[in-house]
Amino acid sequence: MECEVNKNSHQNPKRNKPISHSQNPSTSMQDSIPLLPPELITEILSRLPVKSLFKFRCVSKSWLALISSAEFINTHLIVSANNKEYLHHRLMLSFVQPEYNLKDCSLGSLLYGNVTEAFDLDYPMKHPHKSVWIVGSVNGLICLAIEENDLFIWNPSIRKFKKLPDSRPMLRCGYYFMYGFGYDKVYDDYKVVGIFCIFGSGGSYDVEVKMYSLKSDSWRNVYDYQGGVLLNDSGKFVKGKLHWSTTARCAQYTGWEIISIDLTDEKWGKVEQPCFEEGNLDFALGVLENNLSVLCNYRTWADVWVMKEYGVKDSWGKMYTIRRPNDDPGNFLFSPPLCVSNKGEILLVFGSIFMIYNPNDDSIKYPELNNFDACLEAEIYIESLISPLLQNEPIPLQQ
């Protein structure tokens, strides 16, 4: 519901001067308050959290028009994304025990505060016995998968969501699938890619790929898939492309490789791996400061590699080596780092708990988080005003 200004609610601040019948009270109020330049108002409002902006829409019709404009929404997003204190960043957490659930907490508080509170979220189709999977986050929009059937694009900050039409091909026993979520900057469109791997007899398999466009609200087939069997996790969005790790399709090589798909031209590609150490390792793709990263878990340590210049193999650098804690039982794995603090520390998940690693002195600390159990996934998102709904599209009720 949009707010309207009550013109009769203004009070004259000069109590010792009675208001004549010919004097307009609202005009008197406007005369008593210094008028700020529009660009300064925009500058101030662009630094505020979404919750405050929703309240300030009620100040006047001009503020409502400003805060609802596409230009302001984009400006607010840029300011929030570039805040080095992570004031407008939050962590979304998924849980499977004691029931399926999503929670979130302040990223800045987790990095710089003493104690952080996690809050339960009311997400679309929330049900304690239905699995929920965080596919990805871009510009404050979250892509969620509920069970195997339902996909949503959701902005938890403004409590709006879009249910996607069914994407699955005709599937049979012996299949699995992965999704990825990203933003096509050229066409200003948010897109979801689904890769469906269907196994046959004798180790054979077929792969079907579909891409969803939020602007057209439809799926279409994507051809010329270049990878092998997907190994783990959702697609990682970097530089306009989604990335997955897959088995290598070359008969002479049984390792793994990184594939990508460009969300604009829908072309497949490959990204060369870093020159990591050989041995028994577990690896995972990640995104660190908008760059593609690879985390390699070894028996007693983990290495974090970051591609500083996208597409250039020589730009891979081993940025961190993290030793396992002394009290580690030996079966926990590090996750790819989530972010870097303004002190140079990195936040990551070890097993199912948060850990902050300081590369300057090789120290580790565990931030205190209330209302928190062992989490399955952690995804950073920005509080934004971006809507997942098209213009004039009806708003569904969030359950």
Which pair of structure tokens corresponds to residue 222? 């994507």
Q: How far is CA 112 from the centre of its chain?
A: 20
Q: Is the pLDDT of residue 18 over 50?
A: no
Which whole number is the average pLDDT over 5-30? 45
DSSP state of 7: G
Confidence band for 19, pLDDT divided at 50, 70 and 90: very low
pTM confidence score: 0.86
Token output for 196: 């469906």
Arithmetic mean of pLDDT over the chain: 86
Domain 83-382 = CATH 3.30.43.10: no
Instruction: Kindly tell me if the per-residue pLDDT of 15 is higher than 90.
Output: no
Share of the chain above pLDDT 90, in %: 63
The identity of residue 303, as a single letter, is D
Alpha-carbon distance 12 to 10, whole Å?
7
Type and span of the H or E element at 354: strand 353-358
Nearest residue to 268 (alpha-carbon basis) of 191, 204, 193: 193
Q: Is 80 exceeded by the pLDDT of residue 172?
A: no
Query: Which bin fits 329, alpha (ψ -120 to 50), beta or left (φ > 0)?
Result: alpha
In the chain, where the domains are located: 38-72, 83-382
